Each structure stands twice: as structure tokens, then as C-alpha cells.
A = this chain, B = another copy of it.
Amino acid sequence: MLPPGKATDSGIAMVLSGLDRGDLVIDGGNSDFRDAGRRGALLRSAGCRFMDVGVSGGVWGHINGYGITAGGEDADFAAVAPLLSSLAADGLPFHVGPVGAGHFAKMVHNAVEYAVMQAYAEGFELLTASELDVDVAKTFAAWQTGCSIRSWLLGQLVVALSANPSLAGIPARAGDSGMGRWAVEESVRLGVPIPGIAAAVFARFGSQRADSPGMQAVAALRQQVGGHVAPSAPRDGVLP
């Protein structure tokens, strides 16, 4: 499990000379699935075997067990199943397809996760914005108790809100680790519409920037067209 990209390639190169024929290398990191074929071929050409295994569950996986989507050949999966079982939630690792499929499934998983997080975030913002005096943290606790949208992620947000109901001090910036971007690239290659995932990825991009040339362009256009002057400094978090 190494950082994706060069670190993983270097890692494979480093161990390669020490491998015996038939040895099996498992890439358990968050690698780009498009690298799996190349790495598998490299190892096969050295008489070795390769699997790409997506591992999910966050920092809590060491307690709950991990979610495991393995890509590779049947015999290879059978060989490492006991090892993966010892890590997997409910002792159940899943073999989802040939080499590449494991990290593809993990990439799609993470892209879905972006969109699910965004869904809860939009709900949080609607509740916060309402004049109805809704108890936001209590509403999230209610949603986690019997409501259709209850989930492991929602539970995490309930924990965060119980400690800090207004998320005071949390910066409104969300990084991204690359998998959401790869999923968008793959969607345009495949011609598959994924507006919800893309909305989540773009929302993070917006949060990562201190400026917004696009919104400057809209403001410049409005000024030019209609004599609209851009609203001045924000008041109470919302512009007049």
C-alpha cells in the first residue's frame, strides 16, 4: 500500500529483483486502475503474479474490518483469500474481476462517496439556512435512526455534529485524492452521464480555490450589460 503513481511504480521496481518466479505482488493502494494492466504485464514478464486490491473503510477499518474489492485471476484470489479474509469486514473479501477490476471498483466507490458526502452536505446547508429554527444536529441524529438515508458515512457526520453542532472552526475547504477526477475522466471516455458525481467533484474544486476567475467574468459581464455593480463586502455571511 503505497501512494498511487510513481511511489507504487518505484516500490514494484524495488522489490522486483528480489522476487522468485510465481511470487505474487498485491497493489493495495489507491492506484489508478489504468496502471494495473501495465504493472500486471511487467510482473508476468518476470514470471510473477499481480493483483490490484481496492481497500476501503477509512481509518476505522482496523476496528470494523475493511471493504475489499480484488482484481486478478481466480487462482491468485484463491491463494490469497485467507490473508484478505483476515483483513476484511465479516471476513469477506470480494473478487470482482480480472486485473484492473479491483481498482476500478474502488475508483467508482470513491466517486460515489464524493456524491454521497455532497448529498449530506447539501442537506446540512439547507437545514442551516432555513428560518424555521430546526435543530440541525438533532435532525442528523434522527436521520441516522430508522430513516432511509442512514449510513456509515451519515453516522460519521452525526459524530462530528455531536461534538461541534455548527461545525464552528471547520474550514469550508475539501481536498480530493484523485479518484473522483479519474472517474470523471472515465465517464467522458465511456460516454456515461454522471452529473451527481461531477457536481461533487466541482464543488470541491470551488472550495479549493481562494479566487474564482469564472465568477469575476460573470460579474464583469453583468456590470457591462446592465450597469449592475457587484455587491460589496458580505454581511453576516450572506451578501445583501
Contacts and interface: CB of A to CB of B under 8 A. Distances in A.
A53 B67 CA distance: 36
A157 B220 contact: yes
A10 interface: no
A138 interface: yes
A175 interface: yes
Contacts of A199: 195-196, 199
Q: Which bucket holds chain A's interface residue count? A: 35 or more
A161 B156 CA distance: 27
Contact of A96 (B60, B134, B164, B211): B134
Given A56-B146, A208-B238, A215 B172 contact: yes
Interface string A110-125: 0111011111111111
A222 to B, nearest CB: 6
A108 interface: yes
A157 B67 contact: no
A18 interface: no
Provide the main secondary structure of the chain A interface. Answer: helix
A221 interface: yes
A159 B90 contact: no
Contact of A145 (B88, B95, B196, B207): B88
Nearest to A232: B171
A195 B198 contact: yes
A149 B113 contact: yes
A134 B115 CA distance: 21
A159 B224 CA distance: 8
